[in-house]
Structures are given as C-alpha cells and as structure tokens.
C-alpha cells in the first residue's frame, strides 16, 4: 500500500496516537506520519476533526477517522488480513471493548490528576485509583489471556493496545513521584505482560523515552493547572 493512502495526524507523546501506530504495524501498513504541534493546532487537524480538534486522526484516501479506539477497530475491519486485532467471537469483542472503556475512564484521568495535584496528599486518591485499576486488570488478564502471553492470546490484540499504550506515561508517574504502581508483588502477570508488550515488533520503538515525557509533563502540569484555575 502506498503511504499516500494513509496519513496519521498525531504527536509523539500521545498514548492515543500510539494505539493507532501499533494497529498499523500489526497490519503491516505503511503510512505518512504528520507530527502535530497542537499549539497552535494545524489547519489539517482542524479540517480533519472540526468537532473536537483532537488527535489522533487517520486519513484514509483523504477521509478522516477520529478517536483512537474507533480508528483501531476501523483498521481491523478495513484490512482483514491476519492478524486480527479484535477477538473473533462477538462476546469476546464486547468484553475487550468493556475493559478498554474502563481503562479510558479510570487510568489516564488518574495519571493526569497525579501530574496536576500539588503535594503527596493531593495525589494519594489518584494513586489509589491506579492501584485499583491494576488489581482489576491483573484479574482480567488471568481470565482473558487463558494462560497465553497477551490479553489477545498469542498476539497483541485490542485490549493490549488499549492498555499498553500508557506504559510510557506510567514510567513518568513512577519515576517522577517515586511511587511504583506496576509491581510484581501485586500484579505478577501484568508485570511480565508489560515486558513482553514493550519488546513486541509492533510496539518496539514506539514507547517514548521516560526522560522526554517527564520533561513534557512539566509544561503540561502548568497548562492543566491553569485550565482548572480558569474554569
């Protein structure tokens, strides 16, 4: 496939953009990467996603598809070549979508609030929320993986992408704030899963360096705090 048929509007630091890149890699699809500055937002982004003005956006033959998990499903449906990203059974697909929705509802908001919070006490409830997510996902992994390496079985699947894209930002939380979240004593299966996920050919090289994300988090902290103060 020619690169011109697929263009990804995104940013290196976005876990949601990373989801799309992993899905494209799993399908062995070539694409043109448009690195979005976001400040200001490019005309291409605003024209492609006029409703939200958010990344990622995948342009397929000029037609925009928005929202990371929707894009991942689109890629799986538009290119039926193996490997499949979503499970083959309808019930299993529903379960994977449920847990992906849970992750988006609980995980990144907690990470964001940890960065925004001022002081250890203010961060405590959000760290506890992350601990709860880890506990639930450890249990879910045991049930869904059925003894195989990934949530999706032998290969990375939909839920692996949905959760694994946050590993880079998790490292920032653990290193900057000195609080381990993913530890073997509490989540041995997830710790091993994370190690496998990071070195998988579809993922390798996509997880941003912790130091670069930590530096970015300083400016995001100011931006997010100001946004809250101006509400």
pLDDT tens-digit readout, 123-141: 999 999 999 999 999 999 9
Total number of domains constituting the chain: 2
CATH code at position 140 = 1.20.1050.10
Q: Which of 109, 130, 226 is nearest to 186 (CA)?
A: 130
- Does 97 map to a domain? yes
- Structure tokens belonging to residue 74: 């689109």
Q: State whether 94 and 201 are in the same domain.
A: yes
Q: Which of 49, 78, 107 is the last residue of a domain?
A: 78
Q: What is the pLDDT of the chain when averaged over all its residues?
A: 95
Q: State whether 20 and 126 are in the same domain.
A: no
Domain of residue 178 covers: 90-214
| For residues 40-67, average pLDDT | 97
**Residue 4 pLDDT class (50, 70, 90 cuts):** low
Q: Which of 31, 52, 78 is the last residue of a domain?
A: 78
Other C-beta atoms closer than 10 Å to the C-beta of 153 total 17
Q: State whether 103 and 208 are in the same domain.
A: yes
Q: State whether 68 and 121 are in the same domain.
A: no
Q: What is the pLDDT of residue 192?
A: 98
Between helix 68-78 and helix 15-26 the angle, nearest 10°, is 10
Q: State whether 105 and 10 are in the same domain.
A: no
Which residue shows structure tokens 């998990």?
A: 69
Q: State whether 66 and 117 are in the same domain.
A: no
- Kindly report the pTM of this predicted structure: 0.95
- Does 168 map to a domain? yes
Q: What is the pLDDT of residue 81?
A: 80
Q: State whether 108 and 209 are in the same domain.
A: yes
Between helix 120-145 and helix 188-199 the angle, nearest 10°, is 80
Q: State whether 152 and 209 are in the same domain.
A: yes
- Does 231 map to a domain? no
Q: What is the pLDDT of residue 1?
A: 47
Q: State whether 103 and 201 are in the same domain.
A: yes
Q: State whether 21 and 116 are in the same domain.
A: no
User: What residues pair up with 10 in beta bridges, in sequence order?
Assistant: 35
Helix and strand element counts for the chain (H, E): 9, 4
- Does 223 map to a domain? no
The answer to whether residues 23 and 72 touch, using CB atoms and an 8 Å cutoff, is: yes
Q: State whether 8 and 104 are in the same domain.
A: no
């Amino acid at each position: 496939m020619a690169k011109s048929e697929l263009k990804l509007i995104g940013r290196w630091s976005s876990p949601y953009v990373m989801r799309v890149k992993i899905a494209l890699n799993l399908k062995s699809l070539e694409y043109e990467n448009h690195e979005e500055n976001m400040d200001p937002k490019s005309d291409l982004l605003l024209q492609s996603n006029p409703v939200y003005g958010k990344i990622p956006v995948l342009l397929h033959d000029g037609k925009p598809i928005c929202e990371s998990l929707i894009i991942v499903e689109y890629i799986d449906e538009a290119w039926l070549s193996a490997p499949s990203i979503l499970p083959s059974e309808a019930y299993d697909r529903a379960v994977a979508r449920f847990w992906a929705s849970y992750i988006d509802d609980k995980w990144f908001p907690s990470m964001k609030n940890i960065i925004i919070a001022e002081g250890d006490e203010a961060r405590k409830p959000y760290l506890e929320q992350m601990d709860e997510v880890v506990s639930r996902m450890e249990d879910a992994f045991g049930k869904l993986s059925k003894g195989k390496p990934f949530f999706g079985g032998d290969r990375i699947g939909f839920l692996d992408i949905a959760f694994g894209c946050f590993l880079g930002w998790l490292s920032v939380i653990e290193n900057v704030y000195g609080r381990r979240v993913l530890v073997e004593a509490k989540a041995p299966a997830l710790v091993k899963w994370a190690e496998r996920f990071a070195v998988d050919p579809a993922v390798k090289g996509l997880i941003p360096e912790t130091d670069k994300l930590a530096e970015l988090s300083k400016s995001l902290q100011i931006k997010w705090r100001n946004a809250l103060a101006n509400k």
